[in-house]
Amino acid sequence: MISDDVHRLGRELDRVVRDLRRSGAGFAPHPAPPSWAECAHSLAQWLADAAADAQREPRRAVPRLGGHAVADQVAVVGRDVLEVARVGGDVDVAAARQAVACLREELLRAAR
């Protein structure tokens, strides 16, 4: 049985990926530092580290591909975290939800 926390994390990931795609993260002519792309990349790296740690695998650097790819990077590594959590891996789902929610709040704040 998949926990409610894992379902909530999945919904939060879907929302932040959608928001990143709508925002055109990284395409602003002069984004204020740190740019949305940088924040999203940081989230992708954090999620990748969480998945690696839960699987007792070595951490690997998430490549910096630019603003055009950050939504996809967050989506892919987010799904990795969800999969590890679904099979009973030792993932701190609450911390992952908080990290995803923080980026989403920043995107919403910047859109105002």
Q: Residue 17 is part of which domain span? A: 4-24+32-111
Q: How far apart are CA 66 and CA 60, in angstroms?
A: 18
Secondary structure class of 68 (helix, strand, coil): coil
pLDDT single digits (tens) 15-32: 999 988 887 644 444 444
CA 80 to chain centre: 10
- Cβ neighbours of residue 95 under 8 Å, at least 6 residues apart? 50
| 47, 36 Cβ separation under 8 angstroms | no
Number of domains comprising the chain = 1
pLDDT single digits (tens) 21-72: 887 644 444 444 467 788 899 999 999 999 999 999 999 999 998 778 889 9
Q: How far apart are CA 17 and CA 28, in angstroms?
A: 18
**pTM for the full model?**
0.84
Q: How far apart are CA 77 and CA 62, in angstroms?
A: 9
